[in-house]
Structure 1
């Protein structure tokens, strides 16, 4: 029986590259955003609050990133019947708001990106730019 297993880890360099591309995309559409990138354990790797981004969206961007990493799926796909229970059980860190995407390589989730301050669609577009910058799989339809 093995007591360890190899695993993929998101590097800080990849997190910064993803963050930079997300910022560039947000600037190109004229929507200042809060952008959070976490590892597979929900630990903060990179964050920015762009000039003009909504203050409280800082919290939602973090919750979106953690939720996407934790559930290994885009936010907004949680069962609505469980939404409130999961938020309470997760200490308020889980959300079903659009704008969180898991960061997946070779079918393995290595983290999450969460974006908040625009519309749900704008948040998703910015998160997708982050994934594309590092060649991560995109699970959005």
Structure 2
């Protein structure tokens, strides 16, 4: 009997709860500094919710939007704002993608993937402010994860912008 060279396990690294909590703390702090009440979702690379926070007075209707931003960024391994109307609208190369995943796909800025060694390990989605503010807050979470990895000696951690 010969062994297959194909692995039976997926090499699918993901953010841990600890990393998600580091990001969540940084996002909450920055949103507070800006005076913007937001909802923050952090998803694993396999599209599971790792952490969520809703700041006092954050819009209730933004909860699902934050989840969808993190879901889209992790699932597509790209920031949500890379999907412009020109790309996803009628005649665009990605026309129809906006209707995928039971309507969870979003192109609203504020969803940012986290990469380690060139592999997407999860994503952060923020909603409640202007789209540019949401992205700024999400990036603070990515920066916090990056700093935590650097403390452990990892240097190839980045946000895909």
TM-score computed with the length of structure 2 as normaliser: 0.82
- CA distances 1:48-75 after superposition (whole Å, capped 9, x unpaired): 1100111111011000000000111100
Q: Contact between 2:77 and 2:120, CA under 8 Å: does it hold in 1?
A: yes
Separation of aligned partners in 1, 2:14 and 2:109: 25
Computing the radius of gyration over CA atoms, which structure comes out larger, 1 or 2?
Answer: 2
- CA distances 1:22-62 after superposition (whole Å, capped 9, x unpaired): 00000001001000000011100000110011111101100
The number of equivalent residue pairs is: 140
SS in 1 for 2:115: strand
Separation of aligned partners in 2, 1:38 and 1:89: 18
Separation of aligned partners in 1, 2:10 and 2:160: 26
Give structure 2 stretches of 5+ with no counterpart.
147-156
1:43 counterpart (48, 70, 75):
48
Separation of aligned partners in 2, 1:51 and 1:124: 20
Report matched runs for 1:54-69 at 5 Å.
Answer: 54-69=59-74
CA RMSD of aligned residues (A): 1.5
Give structure 1 stretches of 5+ with no counterpart.
none
TM-score computed with the length of structure 1 as normaliser: 0.93
1:24 aligns with 29
